[in-house]
Amino acid sequence: MVGNVVDWEGQAIFASDEIYLAGDIPVLVSVDPISSAILSITACTQLNSESWQNHWSVLASKKIRPLSIVGDEGKSLRAAHKELKDITYQPDTFHAITQRFGKARNSLEKQATRCISHEYERERVYLNAKSEGVKARQLQSYQKAQIATEKALNLLSDFNWLYRHLNRQLKPVRSDGSIRPKSKAKEEVQAVLELMEETLDVDLDKEIKAVRNLLPELFTYLDQAKKVYQLLEKQVCQSVLPFFLAYWQYNRELNNLKKHKDKKRFAKSKLWLIQIMEEYQKMNPIKFQAEKKLIFAAMQGVIQSSAMVECINSILRPIFNESKGQVSQETLNLVMYWHNHRVFKRGKRKGKSPIELLTGKKVETEWTKAIIDLAKTKMAA
C-alpha cells in the first residue's frame, strides 16, 4: 500500500545507519536530519556494502539524491560510500570522539571511585587498630591508598581537561562567534592526541588510532559552516552576525543537556551573551526575529552527526520488541509513513510533521485518514 521510499523528489543530506531487529535482521535507514523525515527504510537478509548500494540506488531511482552522507564507522556503510562519486562522507563526530573517549572517562571515574573507597576503608582499619605494631602496618596501607587515590584523581583531572578540549574542537562556532577553521581544529585534535600518548598513564592506543584514521574526513562539516557564514555575512550586519552565531551555538548545546541543573549552570556561564541578545531583541524585535530565523535555519544545515537515526531507532525499538522480530517490510513501510506524517507536539519542530518540513508543504489531512484514503484509492484501482 505504501512504499519504503518517501514520496518526494530532491536533494538531502543522508544520515544513514542500520538498526537490528530481533534475530539480527538488519534494517537500513536513511533520514534527512533537518526535517527528521525517513527517506527510506529497508529490511535485508545480510549487512554488506551491496545492501547499502541497493538502498541508495532505490532512492536515486526515485530522484532523491544525497548532498552528502553522514554515518558511523560501519565497514559496510563506508565500503558502499566509496562507490559513490563526488559525494562527501561525514563521520559521526559524537561516535568518533565524544562517545569513544567518553567510555575511557567513565572507566577512569570508576577507577578513582574505587581508590577513594579503598582509601576510606584503609583509614577506618588504621583508626581502629589497637596495638602499635598493627597500627604501624595499617598506616602504611592507608598511606599507600592515599597515594593511589591522588594518582587516580590527577589522571582523571588531566584526562578531563584534554577530553573537554577535544569536544570543544567539534563545535562549528567558537566562543567569539567565528566559524572554527578546519585546519586549526585538526591541529588541536592532533596536539591533544599526542598529549594523551605522552602524559596519560592509561592505554588509549586503540581510541587514538581510530581518531587519527578519521581526521581527514572528521571536520568536513566545517567546510559547510564556512559556506553558510559567507552567505550570511551578505545578509546580516557583520557586527551582529558573530553574536547570533554564538547564540545559535549556545542554544544548540543547551538543548543537548538533559538535566535541569546542567542547563541552569550552562545558562549562567553564558549570561553575558543572553543579556546582549535580549537587549538587541528589545531594540529591534522584528529584525531580531527575522535574523534569528534566517541564521538558525542556515546553521541547521551544518550536520556532523547521524544521531537522528538513533532517534528513529528509539521510535522503532518498542515496535520491534513487541513483535518479537516478526516485522515485515510492509510494516516498516507503514511505520515510516506514520513517522513522516505525525505532527510533533514539542521541541523546535512543534506543530509540524517531518514530511511538511521536508517538502515545505502543509499537510492538511491527519495521517490515519490519509492512509485510509490511500488504501481506498489502491483498492479502487
| Residue 325 confidence (pLDDT) | 61
pTM, to two decimals: 0.87
Residue 2 lies in a domain: no
Mark whether 147 and 209 lie in a shared domain. yes
How many helices (H) does the chain have, and how many strands (E)? 16, 5
Residue 81 lies in a domain: yes
Residue 236 lies in a domain: yes
The CA R_g of the chain, rounded to the nearest whole Å, is: 26
| Residue 120 confidence (pLDDT) | 97
Neighbours of 47 (CB within 10 A): 19
Q: Residue 261's domain spans which residues?
A: 221-299
Contacts of 244 (CB under 8 A, 6+ apart): 177, 236, 277, 291, 292, 295
Mark whether 34 and 101 lie in a shared domain. no
Over residues 131-157, the pLDDT tens digits come to 988 999 999 999 999 999 999 999 999
Total of domains in the chain? 3
Mark whether 315 and 340 lie in a shared domain. yes
The identity of residue 43, as a single letter, is A
Mark whether 265 and 287 lie in a shared domain. yes
Element (H, E) at 21: strand 10-21
Q: Taking the C-alpha atoms of 37, 215, 182 and 172 in order, what is their torsion angle to the nearest 10 degrees?
A: 40
Residue whose C-alpha cell is 590527577: 154
41, 27 Cβ separation under 8 angstroms: yes
Cα separation values, 369 from 227, 241, 290, 305, 350, Å: 42, 45, 36, 34, 21
Mark whether 107 and 202 lie in a shared domain. yes
Mark whether 100 and 205 lie in a shared domain. yes
Task: Single out the residue in 277, 299, 321 at which a domain terminates.
Answer: 299
What CATH number corresponds to the domain at position 348? 3.30.420.10
Mark whether 117 and 211 lie in a shared domain. yes
Half-sphere exposure of 372 (CA within 13 A, CB side): 5
Grid coordinates representing 128 are 581502629
Report d(CA 205, CA 196) in Å as an integer: 9
247, 273 Cβ separation under 8 angstroms: yes
Mark whether 68 and 16 lie in a shared domain. yes
Task: Single out the residue in 218, 234, 253 at which a domain terminates.
Answer: 218
Give, as one character, the DSSP assignment of residue 258: -
Mark whether 214 and 109 lie in a shared domain. yes
Helix then strand then coil, in percent of the chain rounded to 5, is 65, 10, 25
Mark whether 102 and 213 lie in a shared domain. yes
Q: Going residue by residue through the chain (381 aa), what tens digit of pLDDT does each one get?
A: 688 999 999 999 999 999 887 667 889 999 999 999 999 999 888 899 999 999 999 999 999 999 999 998 889 999 999 998 889 999 999 999 999 999 999 999 999 999 999 999 999 999 999 898 899 999 999 999 999 999 999 999 999 999 999 999 999 999 999 999 999 999 999 999 999 999 999 999 999 999 999 999 999 999 999 999 999 999 999 999 999 999 999 999 999 898 999 999 999 999 999 999 999 999 999 999 999 999 999 999 999 988 888 888 887 778 777 776 677 888 889 889 989 998 888 777 888 899 999 998 887 777 777 777 776 676 666
Buried b (16+ CB within 10 A) or exposed e, 281-293: eeeeeeebeebbe
Instruction: Determine the 3-state secondary structure of 124 from DSSP.
Output: helix
Task: Single out the residue in 272, 299, 326 at which a domain terminates.
Answer: 299
Report d(CA 304, CA 34) in Å as an integer: 12
60, 341 Cβ separation under 8 angstroms: no
Residue 17 lies in a domain: yes
Cα separation values, 99 from 103, 168, 309, Å: 6, 14, 16
Residue 1 lies in a domain: no
Instruction: Determine the 3-state secondary structure of 102 from DSSP.
Output: helix
Element (H, E) at 64: strand 64-71
Mark whether 52 and 42 lie in a shared domain. yes
